[in-house]
Structure 1
């Protein structure tokens, strides 16, 4: 198993991690949010993120084609969806339960992870549970050590340090859980736990698609490749989060109108492009 603390500095210096840290620092620099519109946007982002994460967890649990509309219906309280397999709906309900359980968890984090594994039907046997529990103890100690560093997670160096720790803990726990591309469901509780760990490290949550998870599980033996895959995905999600927070409906409407007018001008110009110009005809701006 990896030595998280020893690996952290090397991973923090990877170019992909440094770039993601820059994106993360731009996001966390927005806090504390004070604008009512930004607060509403952030709340909407959090809901959308849970919908997307629950979809991925259900995909890992069932191997089925779970869709965003499926996940939205269940997030809004549906317990069955006409025409959709009940297995998918049950998996989505379990995923939402796990996300909320993790967000509210206090005390023994190893018990929390064992409960998440049961909720998400992850197939951990007793030996896996014990190995993961040992990894969680190690992770929590690393978290305590991280809190002793003077750099705030709000600067790039602090975000890089926190992200590298998150990545290394994630990789360690995935190995301990026996997750691999053929047993991706074993990763589901770890993904939920690590997102809550990010919150405690002072960095925002991330998002991985089921394809991203499968690719990452194929790189567990290579810590640098694992980090180089996940860091850009995390940074992209942080950029998306920032854009969602700053979204202004009036500005979006204005830009959409400008785009429509530009497209209309271009279409009109293309329509008459084949018509020869009369040499003495004055130019008319379209």
Structure 2
């Protein structure tokens, strides 16, 4: 059965306040591209390295149930295949997570769904043939839509404004900072760009939800029992389901890349909570379902969007970070605090007439 993106879902999700807020943060980030300053390009490369460390650490924590630390993940990312004093189980899980991460690296360029199978194998997760077929159907349908240019026009289109990736907007559309450069703190993107990012982000979230549904409906991990969608996050086998969706955390970032949407990262607790939140909608747990959430897509969008907004704001901050300016600002703030402290100390002394 061929998957078809539900345009009504995309429109509804794109209009959600949390999605719009995330889209604004995303638009402020993508407006920086193409990066031209060497410092910004170096900063972005460091962000990408840090992102891989964070993602692989989250994966290893889920795969092992151990307290995998940031230094653990950094050591393995830098090439270590053993860490003195640390369990080899942790190192092996980090190595597997990095192999999966690297296996998916070309997906955004090729759209080759077999790369997902490579990531699944690297992580030691076992998908049934039915699960693999369903995932491939979703991805191949989306790739066909991309090849047909469906995301290059209409609500998904991003305009251009003198090369900065923005569409020319009036003051009312862009806000008070209409003349600010994308690197300025008070820069606000045009409504046109925010709309485009919101719809692309919504499309990605809709596909993400479909992929989760494809996987958690019939999953086995190792020798553990099959997991049904109704039991995800709330019953036995929940850990298996969490492990089984790890490849999808890589897929969504590759899809985002194709859709010109920035990457995201969820830690291990957030991945578990995402599945639990979604499961409450699936099983119809009315007392636990967040207000306003009607479908699993709404649940996924409501949970992921605030995290994406924070991630994209931090990504922008990281790209624009200037060590010299930061040092100067810190020095100025120290001097200001010292002056205020000195003034307070001698405040009781009256000036001579």
Q: Is the 8 A contact 1:2 1:172 kept in 2?
A: no
TM-score normalised per structure 2: 0.73
CA distance in 2, matches of 1:175, 1:124: 13
- Matched-pair contact (CA < 8 Å) for 2:131–2:215: yes
**Structure 2: which 5+ residue stretches go unaligned?**
160-164, 166-192, 217-228, 283-295
The number of aligned residues is 278
The unaligned stretches of length 5 or more in structure 1 are none
Find the partner of 1:218 among 272, 276, 285. 276
**RMSD of equivalent CA atoms:** 2.3
Is the Cα–Cα contact under 8 Å of residues 61 and 121 in structure 1 kept in the other structure? no
Q: 2:202 aligns with which of 156, 160, 164?
A: 164
Q: 1:266 to 1:214 in 2, by over 3 A?
A: farther
Deviations 1:79-127 (A, max 9, x none): 0111111111111111111111111246563322122111112232222
Instruction: Name the SS for the 2:40 alignment partner.
Output: helix
Q: Secondary structure at the match of 1:103?
A: coil
Write the distance in 2 (CA, Å) between the matches of 1:11 and 1:2.
16
Going by fraction, where is helix more abundant, 1 or 2?
1
Q: Per-residue CA shift, 1:186-237, capped at 9, x if unaligned?
A: 1110010111111111111111111111111123333213201101111111
CA contact (8 A) 1:55 1:67 kept: yes
Equivalent residue in structure 2 for 1:257, among 331, 334, 342: 331
Label 1:108 to 1:282 Cα distance change in 2 as closer, same or farther (>3 A): closer
1:92 aligns with 2:94: yes
1:8–1:161 contact (8 Å) kept in structure 2: yes
Pair 1:126-2:126 in alignment:
no
Q: Note if contact 2:4-2:141 (Cα within 8 Å) is conserved in structure 1.
A: no
Supply the distance in 1 between the matched residues of 2:125 and 2:146 (Cα, whole angstroms).
25
Distance 2:102 2:69 in 1: 20
SS at match of 2:90: helix
1:168–1:223 Cα contact (<8 Å) kept: yes
Question: TM-score, normalised to structure 1's length?
Answer: 0.89
The offset of 1:139, in angstroms, is 3.0
Structure 1 residues 12 and 94, CA gap change in structure 2 (3 angstroms): same
Matched with 2:317 is 243
Change (3 A) 1:4 1:62: farther
The answer to whether 1:152 aligns with 2:210 is no
- Whether the 8 Å CA contact 2:22–2:305 is kept in 1: the answer is yes
| Match among 20, 35, 39 for residue 33 of structure 1 | 35
